[in-house]
Structure 1
Amino acid sequence: MKKKLGAVLSTACVLLSVAISPALAATSADARFKTIYTKEWKWRVAERLARAEDDRGVSASLARVDAPAQEARRVYWEGILKELDALSPAGLSPAEKVNFAVYRAQIASLLEAQRFREFEQPVNADSAFWTDVSYSARRPFKTVEDYRNYLKQLAALPGYFAQETANMRAGLARGFTPPQVTLAGRDVALASIADAKTPQETVFYTQFKNFPASVPAAEQDALRAQAAAVIRDSVQPAYAKVLAFFRTEYVPKARTTLAAQSMPGGKAYYQSKIVEFTTTSLTAEQIHAIGLAEMTKIRAEMHGIMKQVEFKGDLPAFLQFLRTDPQFYAKTPKELLMHAAWTAKKFDAKADQYFGYLPRRRFAILPVADDQAPFYTAGRGGPGSYWVNTYNLPARALYSLPALTLHESAPGHAFQMPVAQEQKGVPNFRRAYISAFGEGWALYAERLGTEMGIYETPYEVFGMLSYQAWRASRLVVDTGIHAKGWTREQAQAYLMENTALSKHEVETEVDRYISWPGQALSYYLGQMAIQEARARAEKALGAKFDIRNFHDTVLQLGSVPLPVLQERIDVFIAEGGGSPYSDS
């Protein structure tokens, strides 16, 4: 199956047939290409779909999301794609060939989402527009202007919510909704705002409780009063309207089928999500088969750990032991957070042995907010933050925490993303996140922990293997649900039988896969691509292979389609495996 994956990767995108790293003179095709992506990015920023590179403040407005604006975006991106296809990639310089491969895939994905009118489903089991806007309330503001702009943004929130509600109604009318079963309880985040007794109790007031020194004391009381008023008069009523709509209209009328193939567009829609999230042209059948084959390999490793700890029962009995023995669970949220911090510091001690370039951006370890925690993943990471879910501690196994920490913090998301952001001379569109690359790297980071000596006990190694099985099983479960008619219960049973995840995690994860077709496929296919690239480099370079140079080469790319990664490693090998930073 690995050979099949490699073959697909090598043909799924524009091939980069010449070396990437040498700086060659720009071509006329380069100039035409740069004109296209420069104007499109400026338009994207104007549409509030992206932030300008020098924009560090808080926006005073929210993006338009109504149907006319969405249709205009479809038309615009359709035009951009035609302009790109009129270019010959062969005429581009080596660096721009890479940019073209990334950019064309990005525009094609954005256009497909508009064509299938995905904006008519701005909610799934994992997140929704009302949770997205609450995130900005948690990031610190720096200036008086930030606070004033944020107040304007809050005042505009009712109009934004009305547009999203209209989109949901349009999706509801044509059966384009998450499955009803995955929406149960997802109104808790809405209710936490709508039903709050005072504005000060809502997350939107967070930044008004303590001001930075840059905000004059004389202005703080006025800003607090304005915040309380706009939250009471605009924000809470907007949440209340969506809450009523969600409870009385949307959930009762949401579709009862599970498969993406049962939605409007059917098979074509699901295949578009496979392309988006894997950056390959693999079919659901091929992915399902890869998942089954990989699960067989991982189960063999699991049995090896069981022998090591001299467990006498079978795998189901071992999983039950892991899920229920108190020794594997923290007793307080603080204890869980401290264990996460300990793993992160263990990585710091080994980082320079595996990476030549270390990002300047550090990260904080934070608990997931109470209003989101019940349906949130075990953790999530990115630039500056590693969020650990401390809700329902009996579901948060300590033996899995090291793998989770490597994935979400360093050298995973909170490491890879800053490295990408710190690269110089990269077009703005290259800052976008590509799931197959980003999630593949984070999962690779979990495996890397065995080489780095992060896992201290066989149980922690098993926790890593359970997480590997979790991601490999997603290949089976996601395609099973969306292409093979699997039931929710069937998907839950598969995860319970093949991983050490708790029942709570299994239930929330399966609902996430059901309501977010294709996203779960990113992880393991991305990891396989990185592992294959590394194995190829190790074999070709022999004693010249340097793990730091390999990792730096991969991360310097930022976030790219998997075929681009494979081509870059071909160049890395051809150039002798040196550091990508040697000429900078």
Structure 2
Amino acid sequence: MYRLPLRRLATRLLVGTALCAGVLTLDQITGGQVTVTAPIIGVAHAATAAAGKADAQFKAIYTKEWKWRQEEFKGEDDEDSSDTAANRLPKVDAATQEKRLKVWEGVIKELDAIPQADLSPEAKVNYGIYRDQVAVLLASQKFKDYEKPLNADSSFWSNMAGGARRTLHTVAEYKAFIGQMNDMPRYFNEQIVNMRAGLKRGFTPPKVTLAGRDSGIVNVAEAKTPEDNVYYTPFKTMPDTIPAATHAELRAAAVAAITKSVVPAHQALLKFMREEYIPGARTELAAESLPDGKAYYQSKIKEFATVDLTADQIHKIGLEEVAKIHAQMLDVMKQANFQGDFPAFLKFLRTDPQFYAKTPEELLMRAAWIAKKFDGKADQYFGYLPRQRFAIIPVPADIAPFYTSGRGGPGVYLVNTYDLPSRGLYALPALTLHESAPGHAFQMPIAAEQKDQPEFRQKVYISAYGEGWALYCEKLGDEMGMYETPYERFGMLSYQMWRAARLVVDTGIHSKGWTREQAQQYLHDNTALADHEIETEVDRYIAWPGQALSYYLGEMAILKARAKAEKALGEKFDLRNFHDTVLKLGSVPLPVLEARIDRFIAEGGKSPYPAQ
């Protein structure tokens, strides 16, 4: 028998290992000392060895798959895929898709063979995140989502056009981009073959959501000159670090690629969309009307919400939350001293000129002013601030008519200046907090800065977490004093209502037989959204089943976790530490978030970052 002081590091490590392994209880720790018998030491060493072996087994699996995944999708999103830009686009043909299916099936089998009980605490967290991630990828392959590479919000060609607007820095990056343009005919043809297969089995977005969605293709296919084409954008202004003679060579190569590859690829796609795809698209709206539709919609609920809830359960939650928020909206309406009923107040907000910018520049400047107001409050609510800043720019004109009111991410906050009478200034503070800081343009860079975490946590976006956080930021704006008038606070509540109503609308459309008009009317009656925005949003929900569920369910999980921590910690609760703990996680399924906050409580609410 050995009697060792508890304060000694070696004993602390042994006690921690034994506690985690379940071979030593707190009852065995008395009087500042631990009585450790040789058998316990042997068991602890065995547990440590088992954890090391299980951790190594897990790391080998995810390291191999992640490296393969980065190469497999290289060229699709070079910012996230690897250190070197690809001079080609990824393969998307049926044989490649079948190979991906087999790979992820194999990975799941390998993961399930790991003795999870032997994993270290941190590896258990990573395991849960990673397995869930691969399971989503596998489900998408099984349902052949690649045969429907578009929705009312985005498409493979619009994503590529968006990428064409990025800034390039080196000769290698320019040459890689030219290579991608030259590979476009092959890539587009493979996408068309996949879409034709989906068309044959009724696996398409509903026809009503496709009207006008070929405009982005037209803009490329019918550009007056190569220099007018969106794909020439990176070549208009080139870095001075590249010699002038090389500028000319690269521009000539870009013109040739646009002429010989980009434009013909888009012309072929446009012909296919107009003559085959749009005319033959399904007329039913519900995801449950797709092949194996009930299982498909449930898989989308799991993908976007990361929880095991049924459509009926989510619909009920939505109805309850809509009623709660409506009562709050009525209170704010009274604070504004409005003389009239709720529908009249909504009409007032939708039509009174005081609530709308006169020019695109005014809308952009107001957004910038709101973002700077947050900067002045940031250190009161967050201990860790991201290094990356963001620009505020208008949504490109070719996609603006069908785009959301705004979108944010690493380095950018896009503001839609199309149809200014649809962009209420009373909602701009909530939109800005959601899309810029402390929302998407704040959260995503922090996730990328967590270099101690595996890349599959740094670079993968989980909607329930990311959108839940951004929606939480809108509500947090009330605490931060970001809403200066009753109208702006109503705008925040209208956005909360919008996301709660999505729970009702998404499940209504995809599981309860709702019509497009019924969904539009529900949003019209319950939110202050402009009718144009309601139309684009409903089409997005119809064509992108499940995604709209992530926002409010994610926010509810964060608010629930915060309330639990506040109650448990009392005066020890530090809001900055809570926010830092949530953000340091990266992008994770909601059950992982909830478990981490339980640990935050058990640790006394301390900051997740080392003391400076």
TM tier, smaller: over 0.9
1:42 matched to 2:67? The reply is yes
- In the alignment, the residues of structure 1 paired with residue 186 and residue 81 of structure 2 have an alpha-carbon distance, to the nearest angstrom, of 28
* Alignment check: 8 A CA contact 2:71 2:81 kept: no
SS at match of 1:386: strand
The correspondence for 1:435, drawn from 457, 460, 463, is: 463
Partner of 2:394: 367
Partner of 2:498: 470
Partner of 1:240: 267
Counterpart of 1:475, as a letter, is L
SS at match of 2:504: helix
* Alignment check: 8 A CA contact 2:462 2:588 kept: yes
1:517 matched to 2:545? The reply is yes
- In the alignment, the residues of structure 2 paired with residue 392 and residue 460 of structure 1 have an alpha-carbon distance, to the nearest angstrom, of 20
Deviations 1:134-168 (A, max 9, x none): 12211110101111111111000110000000010
How far residue 475 of structure 1 moved from its aligned partner, in angstroms, is: 0.2
Deviations 1:13-49 (A, max 9, x none): xxxx969xxxx98521101000100110111112125
Counterpart of 1:219, as a letter, is T
Q: Which structure's relative contact order is higher, taking Cα pairs within 8 Å and 6+ residues apart? A: 1
1:543 matched to 2:571? The reply is yes
Looking at CA atoms only, which structure, 1 or 2, has the larger radius of gyration?
Answer: 2
Identity of aligned residues (%): 66
The correspondence for 1:177, drawn from 177, 180, 204, is: 204
How far residue 461 of structure 1 moved from its aligned partner, in angstroms, is: 0.3
The correspondence for 1:494, drawn from 512, 522, 525, is: 522
How far residue 54 of structure 1 moved from its aligned partner, in angstroms, is: 8.9
The number of aligned residues is 564
- In the alignment, the residues of structure 1 paired with residue 611 and residue 88 of structure 2 have an alpha-carbon distance, to the nearest angstrom, of 42
SS at match of 1:495: helix
- In the alignment, the residues of structure 2 paired with residue 583 and residue 161 of structure 1 have an alpha-carbon distance, to the nearest angstrom, of 52
How far residue 223 of structure 1 moved from its aligned partner, in angstroms, is: 1.2
Counterpart of 1:276, as a letter, is E
* Alignment check: 8 A CA contact 1:381 1:409 kept: yes
- In the alignment, the residues of structure 2 paired with residue 186 and residue 303 of structure 1 have an alpha-carbon distance, to the nearest angstrom, of 38
Counterpart of 1:33, as a letter, is F
Q: Show structure 2 runs of 5+ residues with no match.
A: 1-18, 22-47
Partner of 1:148: 175
Partner of 2:282: 255
SS at match of 1:257: coil
Counterpart of 1:189, as a letter, is G
- In the alignment, the residues of structure 1 paired with residue 431 and residue 526 of structure 2 have an alpha-carbon distance, to the nearest angstrom, of 18
1:215 matched to 2:235? The reply is no
Partner of 1:3: none
* Alignment check: 8 A CA contact 2:61 2:110 kept: yes
1:119 matched to 2:159? The reply is no
The correspondence for 2:217, drawn from 171, 186, 190, is: 190
- In the alignment, the residues of structure 1 paired with residue 483 and residue 513 of structure 2 have an alpha-carbon distance, to the nearest angstrom, of 38
SS at match of 1:399: helix
Deviations 1:71-121 (A, max 9, x none): 100011001001111112211101111100100000000000000000000
Partner of 1:28: 53
Deviations 1:242-280 (A, max 9, x none): 011101110000000000000011100000000000000
- In the alignment, the residues of structure 1 paired with residue 211 and residue 164 of structure 2 have an alpha-carbon distance, to the nearest angstrom, of 25
TM-score with structure 2 setting the length: 0.91
Deviates more, 1:222-231 or 1:397-406: 222-231
SS at match of 1:387: strand
* Alignment check: 8 A CA contact 2:70 2:81 kept: no
Partner of 2:297: 270
How far residue 214 of structure 1 moved from its aligned partner, in angstroms, is: 1.8
* Alignment check: 8 A CA contact 2:204 2:281 kept: yes
Partner of 1:503: 531
Partner of 1:562: 590
* Alignment check: 8 A CA contact 1:399 1:460 kept: yes
- In the alignment, the residues of structure 1 paired with residue 73 and residue 524 of structure 2 have an alpha-carbon distance, to the nearest angstrom, of 42
Partner of 1:8: none
SS at match of 1:338: helix
Counterpart of 2:65, as a letter, is E
1:343 matched to 2:365? The reply is no
- RMSD of aligned C-alpha atoms? 1.4
Deviates more, 1:56-65 or 1:192-201: 56-65
The correspondence for 2:255, drawn from 228, 232, 247, is: 228
Deviations 1:331-390 (A, max 9, x none): 100000000001100000000000000000000001000000000000000000000000
* Alignment check: 8 A CA contact 1:178 1:255 kept: yes
Counterpart of 2:521, as a letter, is A
* Alignment check: 8 A CA contact 1:144 1:214 kept: no
* Alignment check: 8 A CA contact 1:45 1:51 kept: no
How far residue 310 of structure 1 moved from its aligned partner, in angstroms, is: 1.2
